[in-house]
DNA sequence: GTCTATACGGTGATAGAC
DNA sequence: GTCTATCACCGTATAGAC
């Protein structure tokens, strides 16, 4: 803690700045964040941030790119795999999604930060670059409908529902924590329960009776 | 359009500024918004904004308060009404929620803007001031579980699911629009379909087979 | 109440020593 | 590569005329 300079050398300053930037940008957004704050968080000087990443915008760009490009492929390659059954896919999707965000708590912040402004294009591009093939998932749904395994549902709405229920609780976390008076332990437990209940909830809602 | 001054007189400058502020703050957030921008949107001078609302923070505070205090009571009084059945409540909740946000497109922006920072307390206070009685809804759920009408589910997760699926599509609108190439007409249709499908989806997911 | 002009502070970015 | 000191700009807020 006190010999931060040594850590700097060991971990690599650039990496250190990136981590700090993720944290601060995720919390405060591009406009709300201060370069000074990021430097402090990284335990280095403000000028050094500019030395590695020309400008604030460039740093933000870099960090967002890295974040999303590690995020989408994992979730999306799963959805595009035709060899996995629909129900199994739902189960794995929920688990993967929630676990991933658990490990990268700054992601929902970026998500909303980016979407809140007119900056959806980049996110979209990454969706597409990630090899996402929504058709595979859509076809799978329509196949099951025809086969009579699940009730008729518009595929788009199903996927929107799934994503909504995975992401939103993280966005609304402060609200949840305050409203139901959850401490960190309660919240973690809430998420573990959710990992199990959510797939059942989704499958139940489409499975034919 | 060109005789904005007359409109100013008619509509009341204060109201005009509030509307402009809602729009700009909702899009860009507290930090991203510029007083100049708000003044322009309102068709008046920058100094005048300060004349009515001492500071930027005060203006933001005011606008957020007004927004949320019109938003929560409507949705929440419904949930607290013990005379409405669970299924009926779900149907009305979804319709009310989506309609409300349709008419006040800036709400999701504020929602995430506020939650993104450490400012959940105010939102929470409004929840509570709105006369929300979550116990009523929770009891109703547990009653139905005991009666065997619905499958066992943790009440908190059900309500989180409902809210998630109502709000998130609005937050992610730019993503949806781009990804599925929706114009405004397509999007409105998407929402109308959603109003009908979502309650069915939810009820189906908990109804006993 | 509404405008123009201006003061003031904060912040991103650079220069230059080490 | 890392620091200290400094600049230049932009945006909030105020003063003061009308």
pLDDT tens string B129-143: 766 677 889 999 999
Strand partners, B71: none
Strand partners, B207: B150
Give, in degrees to the nearest 5, the angle at Cα B120 between B119 and B124: 140
Angle between the A155-171 and B155-171 helix axes, to the nearest 10 degrees?
A: 110
- Centroid of chain to Cα B15: 20
Between residues A142 and A1, which one has the greater pLDDT?
A142
**Nearest CA to A41 among A52, A27, A61?**
A27
Per-residue pLDDT, B116: 65
d(CA B13, CA B44): 8
Over residues A168-172, the mean pLDDT reads: 85
Strand partners, A31: none
In order of A95, A197, B146, B156, B157, the CA distances from A193 in angstroms are 11, 6, 21, 11, 9
Check: CB of residue B175 under 8 Å from CB of residue A123. yes
Give, in degrees to the nearest 5, the angle at Cα B59 between B57 and B65: 100
- Within 8 A of B118 by CB-CB distance, chain A residues are 27, 174
Residue of B32, B157, B178 with shortest CB distance to A121:
B178
Residue of B120, B157, B167 with shortest CB distance to A168:
B167
B194 to chain A: closest CA residue: A157
**pLDDT exceeds cutoff 60 at A46:** yes
Between residues B9 and B195, which one has the greater pLDDT?
B195
Check: CB of residue B24 under 8 Å from CB of residue B38. yes
Contact A127 B179 (CB under 8 A): yes
Contact A164 B160 (CB under 8 A): no
Per-residue pLDDT, B8: 39
Check: CB of residue A139 under 8 Å from CB of residue A117. no
Residue of B123, B169, B174 with shortest CB distance to A160:
B169
Per-residue pLDDT, B60: 95
Min distance B125 CA to chain A CA atoms (Å) = 9
Check: CB of residue A208 under 8 Å from CB of residue A149. yes
Percent of chain A clearing pLDDT 70 (strictly above): 87
Q: How far is the CA of A171 from the C1' of D6 (A)?
A: 41
Tokens of B37: 């921008």
Q: A interface mutation test: which of B122, B172, B186, B190 has the most A CBs within 10 A?
A: B172
pTM value is 0.85
Give nucleotides in strand D with any atom < 7 A to a protein C-beta. 1-5, 11-16
**pLDDT exceeds cutoff 80 at B88:** yes
**pLDDT exceeds cutoff 60 at A60:** yes
Check: CB of residue A70 under 8 Å from CB of residue A77. no
At A118, the pLDDT band (50, 70, 90 cuts) reads low
């Amino acid at each position: 803690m006190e010999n931060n300079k040594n850590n700097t050398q060991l971990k690599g300053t650039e990496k250190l700045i990136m981590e700090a930037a993720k944290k601060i940008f995720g919390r405060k957004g591009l406009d709300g964040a201060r370069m000074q704050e990021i430097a402090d968080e990284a335990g280095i000087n403000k000028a050094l941030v500019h030395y590695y990443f020309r400008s604030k915008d460039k740093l933000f760009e870099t960090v967002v790119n890295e974040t999303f490009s590690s995020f989408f492929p994992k979730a999306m390659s799963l959805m595009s795999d035709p060899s996995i059954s629909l129900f199994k896919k739902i189960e794995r999707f929920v688990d993967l999604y929630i676990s991933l965000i658990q490990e990268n708590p700054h992601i929902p912040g970026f998500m909303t930060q980016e979407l809140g402004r007119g900056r959806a294009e980049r996110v979209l591009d990454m969706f597409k670059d990630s090899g996402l093939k929504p058709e595979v998932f859509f076809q799978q749904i329509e196949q099951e409908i025809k086969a009579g395994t699940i009730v008729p549902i518009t595929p788009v709405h199903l996927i929107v529902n799934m994503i909504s229920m995975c992401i939103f609780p993280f966005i609304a976390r402060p609200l949840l924590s305050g409203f139901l008076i959850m401490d960190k332990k309660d919240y973690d437990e809430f998420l573990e329960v959710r990992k199990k209940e959510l797939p059942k909830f989704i499958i139940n809602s489409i499975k034919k009776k």
